[in-house]
Structure 1
Amino acid sequence: MHALIELGLNAVTNENLSDALDYFRRAGTRSQAAQANIRQIQSRLDASRSSKSGSANDASIAELLAAARKYHRGTGVPVNYVEAVRLYRLAEAKGSLEARRMLGLIFSRPSLTGGIDIGWMQQLAYADPMTTIPTIGVPSTMELLYREPTPLYDLLPEFWRKQITQVGR
C-alpha cells in the first residue's frame, strides 16, 4: 500500500495523472490517504477537461502555458529556460495576460550580459504572476497530496486508526 502511494506521488510529480490515479486506486481499498488523493486527482482531471471544453484558443493558450511551466520548472523534463521563454512568448502572442506578466518578470532583471538571469529564472519558477503582488513559492491554490501517518498504520486496529485521525485534525 505504501509503495503504491509513493508510486502515485511520483507519477503526479511527473504529471502523469492517469497512472497516479491507477496507483492510488490500487492502494485506496486499504488507505484513507490514497482515497483523499484519488479525490484530488479526479478533481484536477475534471478541471482539466472543463478547461479544454472552452474555446480552442483558450485551450491552446492553456497548453502553451502548461508547457512553458513544465520547461521552466523542469517537471518531467530537463529545465530549459530558452524553451520556456519561447513558449511564454507564443502564449503572449495569443493574448495571455499571465504569459505577458511572467515575461515582464523574467526580463525585469537581466543578467550582467543582458541575457536571462538564471538565478532569477529559478526563483520565478513557482511565481504566480496573476496576483496583485507576484508571489514566489508554492502556489496557494496547490493542494497537497497525502501519505499515511506511519508505515505501520495499516497494521493498527480500526479503533486506533480513528483515534490517530481525530488527533491529527
Structure 2
Amino acid sequence: MNRTSDRTSTLTSALVLVAFLAISFGVAALGSIATAGNVEGWYADAAKAPWNPPSWVFGPAWTLLYTLMSVAAWLVWRQRHRVSVRRPLALYVVQLVLNSIWTPVFFGLFPFIGAPALWVALAIILALDVMVLLTMIAFWPVSKTAAWLLVPYWAWVLFATTLNWALAALNS
C-alpha cells in the first residue's frame, strides 16, 4: 500500500468508528427523551428493589457502555477482510434495536402499549440479555477484545433486568 491508500484506509476506519459512536449515542438520545419526563414522574414514586441505584448513576454508566459497544463493533468491522463479519454485526444491530425499544416501552412512551408497560419491557430486556450474549459469542472468533468489551454491557443489562423485574413485581 502507498501512503495515500494508507491515509484513506485510516480515514475510512475513523469515520466508521464515528458512525458506530453516532448510532449508539443516537439510541442513547432516544433513551434520554424517553426518560426525561418520567424519572421525576411515576418512576420516582414507584416501589423499587433495595439494590436500585440512584437515578444519576444511569447516565454515566450508559455513556461508558455505549462507547464500549461502539468500539467493540468497530473492532469487528475492521476484521471484514479477514473473516465474515456479517452475522456478528447483524446480531449487534438486533441487540441495539432491542436496547432502543426497551426504554420507551419501560417508561410508557408507546401509547398503544400503555404507560408504563413494565412486564412487556421485561420480555424485551430478557430478549436483549440473550442477544447480547449471542453477540459476544459471535464477536469472539472475530475479535476477542471486542467480545470482552461487551462483558460490562451484558453485566449491566442483566442487572437492569433484575431492576425491571422488581419494578414490575412491586408495582403491579
Give TM-score scaled by structure 2 length.
0.33
Higher RCO (CA-CA < 8 Å; seq separation 6+): 2
Q: Say which one has the larger Rg.
A: 1
More helix by share: 2
